[in-house]
Each structure stands twice: as structure tokens, then as C-alpha cells.
């Protein structure tokens, strides 16, 4: 087993599920379990400036071993896994020489990973695939990225003859709940630019992502016995359903792709007296993004016009923005990464991220930070899988980017 795969299998054994309802930072103390392991491994590798702070961020420096003036490059991955499914007791299964058919994840529960549902599986016929056992997520998002970065460091330490500039390492908590960059110290990190190694099938290179906002809507109703409710009852449940039904059906995630934005309901609860509805709003284009936010606000205004002032309130908050604006001035990062992907025998796929990464926030904090693939599929659920070759190629791409920047540098 290669070093990067061995590390991946070890790291996914540690439950680092984040919690969106937590008031602590990081949101779960278990994230420190992996952070401490990484801190110790970085110490054993002989890196410098190693730190694990109270917020769960791990940082370290691999010093330059060349006289060339190479840019200081950062490498970032997140340690937490999604709260959407359990990450405890992950039991990876290795499917060797995949034949293109159904993969039984769990015989007892009749859980099957099928190319009928996930046709991308057919791309990996003949390869080794790591899957779940059907009861947890796998954790490739983003322990695959953590493993690729750590394997890169091990390789460079083992091969001191390979020239490289200063490399900065950052492992973040709580990315899955949108807080991964909240307390990231860009000044302390001190990189000229960085790459996140976080998700995406083999070959993907991303420097565009959604603009993102979250909307929380609260509706206050009036409960009256239904037998005498005429002209008296205001049913908050019906009103939140009315709000949801007023948004364009074609702008739901299940009907969108590529650059198309969406409204996605992520929570609904309530009674006749009070009901709550939460949405995430996503769009690549800044003008369309503002239109979306304006639309949902107008729908709430209409509810108040129909049922009375203050029947509904909305809390609308921007979460992150499209990193493209910050990457365009430093497109050498994308050009170099594309060359690196091609150099390791993979076809580059430069596509927009239909989501967000730590890199989006960090780019607006002064650290340009596009994303490179790890090879994982179906993140956040029991059908998550990772082709072994894809992760190994991610590791090779990191090394190749370092080599290209070193070779381009002046003495």
C-alpha cells in the first residue's frame, strides 16, 4: 500500500464530524484528536514553526533547500467531516480490479453502490476503489487531502536532493459547516499563495465557486380551534409552505448544474403558532446572486402584506463569494497546476465548484487559494468512494507543482 493510501486509511479511523449547532470552536473536540496526530507527525518529519492553536488549526513550515527565489507556497486541507452522516467507526472496503457492476456495501442492510445510480463508477473499471461499509461516510472529504499533503512532506523529507522553496502547511477545522477560515491567521501562515487539496474527481482544478448566502425565515401564526378558525387562524405551517412554493421550481439543486444557481431548503420545522424555514442560496454570477436575495426578501414582504406586518421575518447573511475575482490576477497558479496535472498523465478538468471551500474565504482574506482534486465521489454520505489511483495522482500533482515553480525560479 502506498504511503498516501496508508495515511488515508489511518486518518479516516478518527471521527472528526463537525457540528453546526455547537457554540464552541472548533465545533467538536474530536477534531483535536486528528489535529494532535498531525502535529506529532509533523514533528517527527522535522518541520519547523509547528503549531496547534486553541481553535484547532495546525500549521507548519518545510524550509527551503534551494538558493532559488521560489514563491512561498501553501498547502491546505480540512480535518472535519460532514455532519450529514456519521464518521464514527469508518470501516473502509477495498474493491480490487473493479468489474463495473454493483458493489454490495452492506449485505445485511441491502445497501448497494450501483453504476445505475452513480454512472461515474464505470470510469474506474479495472481499478481499486475504496468504499464505505454502508453505515458511515468514508471521510475522503477531506482526509484524502490531508493524506496527500502529509505524503508529499514525507516524500520530500526522504528525498532531500529534490529542490523546493518554503512550503507552508495548514490543516483547518469546521470547513464543512462554513467556518474553516473564520480564525485562520493569514499573516502567520505567510504564504504568497496556496492550494486547497479538497474533493473533486481526478483531474479537477477549480478557481470559481458559488457566491453564497443563508436565509433563516421565521413565521408567527395564531392558533385557534379549527372548528371556529374562520377569519381568525393564521397557520404558520401553511405560510412557510407558501413561501417555499413561491420560489422557482427550476432553481432547486436537483434541476441545476454547472454555472446554474439554486435555492436549497435545508431545514423546516414548526407549529401553527410558529414555523421556521432555512435556505442556502447559491449563484456564480454576482448580479444574479443579488437578484436571488432580493427575490426571497420580496416573497417575505408579500407574506407580511397578505397576513399582517411582522408575520414573517428573514435573516439573510452572505457566507462567501466567488474566488474567481481574486484568482484572475494570479492566473499563473492555474496555468502551473494545469501543466502539473498534464505532466502526471491526467486530463485537466477546469470547472466551477458547485459549493465552497476554505479557499474561497481565504482568497478574500488575502491568500489566493484555488482547489485541486483528491479523487473522491459522493461526499457526505454512505455511497462515498475513492479510487486509489485518483488520490495517488493528487499526491503526484502536488509534487509536480512544487517542481515546476522551483524550475521556473531564478537563482
Please tell me the total count of domains within the chain: 2
Residue 397 and residue 291 share a domain: no
In 256-389, which ranges are E strands?
262-270, 274-283, 312-320, 349-350, 371-372, 385-387
User: At residue 411, does pLDDT exceed 80?
Assistant: no
Q: What is the pLDDT of residue 41?
A: 98
Q: What is the pLDDT of residue 409?
A: 83
Per residue in 377-400, pLDDT (tens digit) is 999 999 999 999 999 999 999 999
Q: What is the pLDDT of residue 354?
A: 87
Q: Give the pLDDT band of residue 357 (cuts 50, 70, 90).
A: confident
> Which range among 206-215, 268-277, 353-362 shows the weakest confidence by mean pLDDT?
353-362
Which residues, 6+ apart, have CB-to-CB distance to 319 below 8 Å? 178, 212, 213, 214, 280, 356
Residue 265 and residue 276 share a domain: yes
Closest CA to 77 of 153, 158, 23, 188: 153
Residue 137 and residue 111 share a domain: yes
Catalytic residue numbers read 80, 175
Phi then psi for residue 253, to 5 deg, are -55, -35
d(CA 356, CA 322): 8
Residue 188 and residue 311 share a domain: no
193: β partners: 73
Polymer length in residues for the chain = 411
Residue 328 and residue 185 share a domain: yes
Residue 220 and residue 198 share a domain: no
> Which range among 199-203, 280-284, 332-336, 386-390 shows the weakest confidence by mean pLDDT?
199-203
Q: What is the pLDDT of residue 59?
A: 98
CATH (domain of 118): 3.40.630.10
Q: What is the pLDDT of residue 185?
A: 97
Summary mean pLDDT of the chain? 96
Q: What percent of the chain has a predicted confidence (pLDDT) above 90? A: 95
Residue 190 and residue 218 share a domain: no
Per residue in 28-42, pLDDT (tens digit) is 999 999 999 999 999
Residue 363 and residue 310 share a domain: no
d(CA 334, CA 350): 9
Cβ distance 173 to 31 under 8 Å? Answer: yes
Query: Could you tell me the residue range of the domain that residue 25 belongs to?
Result: 3-208+322-408
User: At residue 355, does pLDDT exceed 90?
Assistant: no
Residue 367 and residue 295 share a domain: no
**What mean pLDDT is predicted for residues 336-352?**
97
User: At residue 222, does pLDDT exceed 80?
Assistant: yes
User: How far does the chain reach from its first CA to its final CA, in angstroms?
Assistant: 38
d(CA 146, CA 183): 19
User: At residue 133, does pLDDT exceed 80?
Assistant: yes
Amino acid at each position: 500500500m502506498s504511503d498516501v493510501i496508508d495515511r488515508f486509511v489511518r486518518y479516516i479511523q478518527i471521527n472528526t464530524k463537525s457540528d453546526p449547532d455547537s457554540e464552541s470552536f472548533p465545533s467538536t473536540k474530536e477534531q483535536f484528536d486528528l489535529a494532535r496526530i498531525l502535529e506529532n507527525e509533523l514533528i517527527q518529519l522535522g518541520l519547523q514553526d509547528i503549531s496547534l492553536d486553541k481553535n484547532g488549526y495546525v500549521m507548519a513550515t518545510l524550509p527551503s533547500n534551494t538558493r532559488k527565489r521560489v514563491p512561498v507556497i501553501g498547502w491546505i486541507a480540512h480535518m472535519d467531516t460532514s455532519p450529514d452522516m456519521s464518521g464514527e467507526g469508518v470501516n473502509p472496503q477495498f474493491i480490487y480490479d473493479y468489474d463495473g457492476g454493483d458493489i454490495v456495501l452492506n449485505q445485511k442492510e441491502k445497501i448497494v453502490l450501483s453504476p445505475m445510480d452513480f454512472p461515474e463508477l464505470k470510469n474506474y473499471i479495472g481499478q481499486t476503489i475504496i468504499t464505505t461499509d454502508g453505515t458511515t461516510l468514508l471521510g475522503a472529504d477531506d482526509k484524502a487531502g490531508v493524506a496527500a499533503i502529509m505524503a508529499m512532506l514525507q516524500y520530500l523529507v526522504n528525498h532531500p536532493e529534490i529542490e523546493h522553496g518554503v512550503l507552508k502547511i495548514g490543516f483547518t477545522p469546521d470547513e464543512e459547516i462554513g467556518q474553516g477560515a473564520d480564525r485562520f491567521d493569514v499573516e502567520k501562515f505567510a504564504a504568497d499563495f496556496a492550494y486547497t487539496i479538497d474533493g473533486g474527481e481526478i483531474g479537477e482544478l477549480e478557481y470559481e465557486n458559488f457566491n453564497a448566502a443563508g436565509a433563516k425565515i421565521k413565521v408567527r401564526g395564531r392558533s385557534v380551534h379549527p372548528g371556529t378558525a374562520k377569519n381568525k387562524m393564521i397557520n404558520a405551517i401553511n405560510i412557510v409552505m407558501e413561501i417555499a412554493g413561491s420560489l422557482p421550481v427550476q432553481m432547486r439543486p436537483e434541476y441545476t448544474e454547472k454555472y446554474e444557481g439554486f435555492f436549497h431548503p435545508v431545514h423546516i420545522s414548526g407549529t401553527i403558532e410558529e414555523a421556521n424555514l432555512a435556505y442556502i442560496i447559491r449563484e456564480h454570477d454576482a448580479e444574479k446572486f443579488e437578484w436571488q436575495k432580493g427575490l426571497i426578501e420580496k416573497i417575505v414582504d408579500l407574506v407580511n402584506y397578505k397576513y399582517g406586518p411582522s408575520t414573517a421575518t428573514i435573516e439573510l447573511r452572505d457566507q462567501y463569494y466567488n474566488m474567481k475575482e481574486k484568482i484572475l490576477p494570479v492566473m499563473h497558479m492555474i496555468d502551473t497546476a494545469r501543466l502539473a496535472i498534464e505532466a502526471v498523465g491526467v486530463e485537466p478538468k477546469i470547472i466551477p465548484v458547485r459549493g465552497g471551500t476554505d479557499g474561497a474565504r481565504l482568497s478574500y482574506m488575502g491568500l489566493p487559494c484555488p482547489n485541486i482534486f483528491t479523487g473522491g465521489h459522493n461526499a457526505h454520505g454512505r455511497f462515498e468512494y475513492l479510487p486509489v489511483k485518483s488520490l495517488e495522482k493528487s499526491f503526484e500533482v502536488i509534487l509536480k507543482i512544487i517542481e515546476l515553480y522551483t524550475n521556473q525560479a531564478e537563482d
